[in-house]
Chain A
Amino acid sequence: MDITTLTSKKSLVWWVIILIIFILLAFVPLYAPGYAAILLISILMYVILTVSWVMFSGSTGYMSLAPAVFFGVGIYASAIIGGKLPFPIVVGIGGLASFCLALLVGALTLRLRGIYFAIFTFGLVMLMAHSLLFWELHVTGTRGRFVIVMGYNTIYYYLLGIFVLLLLTAYLINRSRFGLALQSIGQEEDAAAHTGVNVTMLKVTTFAISAFFMGAAGAVMATKWTYIDPFIAFNPFYSFMPVVMAIFGGMGQLFGPIIGAVILTYLEEFLITKFAELYMLIFGTILVIAILYLPDGLVGLIQKMWNRYSERKHADT
């Protein structure tokens, strides 16, 4: 489904479907056993990271490996101020701290392109982890913090709320001139600049908005992890997974990254519990196959098959 179809009158059915899915999701903790909410928490976490990542990297073509930084900032915000302030404020601060950091980093580095930007953002994960480590070693004299523990349902509903906000934001951005300008940057940045698009402002703002959601998700997830330290919070794994999930699902559509995140999280869960010894081998093989044979991701494949089916049907009639 293309994002533009969401606006047409014919797409009413899609809105109904989305509404049904969200109603189902909203009631999961009420009718499902405890673990369903726990697994869905993980899935929502990856969905938020992936959709946030696509919001910036998917449209501009800038490969950011910084999700772990913004996620980690949220985690640390929660560890430091969690319990001292009401939780919604903690989550908001987690998001805002990431937003501000992204503004700063973006303003400094978004002139870099291609591989340079990717490497810089990856370096940032290491820089943050080691800076915090230094700070804790030499200033606070500690390492590692306990985080206030929240109930599963609370965590679940916070993540669901963040997800809804994120989807609305992504949708509104895509629908606006802002989104169009972003796509023009992705297609040809120099041309976009020549047509009067303030490319730096756009890139930095979108980078920061996507960081906000990652930070907010981090602040919520920290309460589930109960104990964190710089290397737990700033784990490069959380930079790579959103990229892999987005590629697997397909980046051209809004629902591609969501489907990629849901399927890969579920697949990972299945493999680490049923085939623990073979997890990496099977997971890696599936990814290689997906990247080799699904250039537009899973959603691209489904769409292609659907189109072929529709064409054949029309040809028959």
Chain B
Amino acid sequence: MKNKVLLGLLVVTVAVVFLVGVCATNSLAKDKIVVGMARPISGWMAVIGDSAFRPVYETWVKEVNAKGGIYVKEYGKKLPIELLIYDDKSDVGTMTRLTEKLIVQDKVDFLWPACGTAFVFAQAPIANKHGYILLTAEGGATQVKEMLRSLPYVFVGLSFSDWYQLPVFAELLGEKGAKTAYIMYVGDLFGIEYSGVAGIEFPKHGIDIVGISSVPPGAKDLSPIIKKAKASNADVFCCFGYPDQVLPATGTSIALGFNPKAWIGGPGANFGFYHTTFGPAVEGVMGFTSFSPKQSAAAKELADKLYAGKPEEIQDFWGHPLYWASLEFWKQAIEKAGTLDQKVIRDIMATQKFKTVLGPTWFENGLMAKECHTGEIGQWQKGMFEVVGPKKHATAKFVYPKPPWPKPKPKK
């Protein structure tokens, strides 16, 4: 009996220590700006996070801190940025919990975004509920437009389907006289959205959708779909999927000799590794973009900062410039506010313009204004991912029809 009482006391003590440990809070000194993030360091999203927002924020924070940090008038000095990063394991449940931890327990000064559209959708209401600004990175969808009305603290920096990629793409195709299109899309939110928006935009420019196929995420053999697309004799082939679909779709198109007049695939064709994988065969392939180093001295400088001396694989002409511009915008909003008060900074972000790598930049109803984008549609031409649309930002003329794929080498 005595033993049991002792053991019982031990159990209660452990329980109390545990609960007290859980309840303990950290206090953070105010000689720096602490930015918290729940990012996919492990799990299936890690490869996306590592190549998308991560290289941008790492380079940007290093650069800002090298100059002393962000000047905040309230403290009369520059405050360096300190990142507090947790691993969400590519799991939404863990991400929401860690976001709450960053806000409620760590009391970080700012929250930076999780990775992926679904993750952003789950994170945005939490950030908004706690009055934390959330400037998103990897993620954006038409659905977000409706959502943003009720989320005043959320700002979306990435361009997406009808903001304003596919309207530009459809216009380019219409001008060249494209008449038919075949759409292959990955069976998720992204794929549904892009195929849906194409269904609205293509007919406006006289393009009929002659075939549409969805592929489940993880499908490896795309040859049945590419064969169907080839049989449809469509002028345009759209692969609305991730690199996991875009790369095999490209390889299968080359292998089966399916060479439509326009071939677009994204996100996938916009990455440097796409060119590294297929080499000169990518000539004429299209994708989504937001800038070209050729556009301005600032664009060239950014490209040098991010890519000079590094392998081509890490390049991303769609996301990187927009993430960078978002961070520049955010910094200037803080400096203008002169405080770390989220409400004051939010009001400035929602109403004011700042100069970023893209030029004058502002947000409209929580979305980065489409007028700020310095490109929507890109095309591989002579080893460069050129901006071909909209025309006012084009660095090269849209080549239509695309040149044929190189002929497969005969087997020895």
Which positions 311-367 of chain B face chain A at CB distance < 8 Å? none
B25 contacts which of A35, A38, A224, A232 (Cβ < 8 Å)?
A35
Q: Number of B interface residues at 8 Å Cβ cutoff, please give it.
A: 49
Check if A38 sits within 8 Å of B101, measured CB to CB: yes
Docked complex Cα distance between A238 and B96 (Å)? 16
Residues in A with CB closer than 8 Å to B118 are: 144, 227, 229, 232
Residues in A with CB closer than 8 Å to B8 are: 13-14, 16-17
Identify the closest chain B residue to A16 (Cβ): B8
Residues in B with CB closer than 8 Å to A141 are: 192, 196
B122 contacts which of A28, A40, A225 (Cβ < 8 Å)?
A225
Identify the closest chain B residue to A35 (Cβ): B105
Identify the closest chain A residue to B9 (Cβ): A17
Docked complex Cα distance between A226 and B100 (Å)? 12
B248 CB–A CB distance under 8 Å: no
Instruction: Determine chain B's interface SS by DSSP, over half rule.
Output: helix
Check if B19 sits within 8 Å of A28, measured CB to CB: yes
A315 CB–B CB distance under 8 Å: no
Bits for B389-402, please: 1 = Cβ < 8 Å to A, else 0: 00000000000000
B256 CB–A CB distance under 8 Å: no
Docked complex Cα distance between A137 and B188 (Å)? 8
Q: Do A226 and B96 form a contact, CB below 8 Å, given A20-B12, A35-B25, A276-B41?
A: yes
How many whole Å from A118's CB to the nearest CB in chain B?
21
Docked complex Cα distance between A70 and B187 (Å)? 23
Docked complex Cα distance between A273 and B97 (Å)? 11
Which positions 87-107 of chain B face chain A at CB distance < 8 Å? 87-89, 91-94, 96-98, 100-101, 104-105
Check if B105 sits within 8 Å of A276, measured CB to CB: no
How many whole Å from A260's CB to the nearest CB in chain B?
14
Residues in A with CB closer than 8 Å to B89 are: 237, 272, 279
Check if A133 sits within 8 Å of B23, measured CB to CB: no
- Size category of the A interface is 35 or more
Check if B25 sits within 8 Å of A143, measured CB to CB: no
Docked complex Cα distance between A262 and B126 (Å)? 25
Check if B188 sits within 8 Å of A229, measured CB to CB: yes
Check if B98 sits within 8 Å of A42, measured CB to CB: no
A292 CB–B CB distance under 8 Å: no
Q: Do A33 and B104 form a contact, CB below 8 Å, given A13-B5, A24-B19, A228-B92?
A: yes
Residues in A with CB closer than 8 Å to B98 are: 272-273
Docked complex Cα distance between A40 and B104 (Å)? 14
Check if A21 sits within 8 Å of B15, measured CB to CB: yes
A10 CB–B CB distance under 8 Å: yes
B187 contacts which of A35, A133, A228 (Cβ < 8 Å)?
A133
Which positions 188-206 of chain B face chain A at CB distance < 8 Å? 188-189, 192, 196
Seen from chain A, the residues whose Cβ lies within 8 Å of a Cβ on chain B are 10-11, 13-14, 16-17, 20-21, 24, 28, 31-36, 38-42, 130, 133-134, 137, 141-144, 146, 149, 152, 221, 224-229, 231-232, 235, 237, 262, 266, 272-273, 276-277, 279-280, 306, 310
> 11 other contacts beyond A36-B23, A221-B93, A277-B41, with CB at 8 A cut-off?
A13-B4, A21-B11, A35-B104, A130-B216, A143-B187, A227-B125, A228-B92, A231-B217, A232-B122, A272-B86, A273-B101
16 contacts between A and B (CB under 8 A): A13-B8, A32-B22, A34-B104, A35-B101, A35-B104, A38-B104, A130-B216, A133-B188, A133-B216, A134-B187, A137-B192, A141-B196, A225-B96, A226-B125, A277-B41, A279-B87
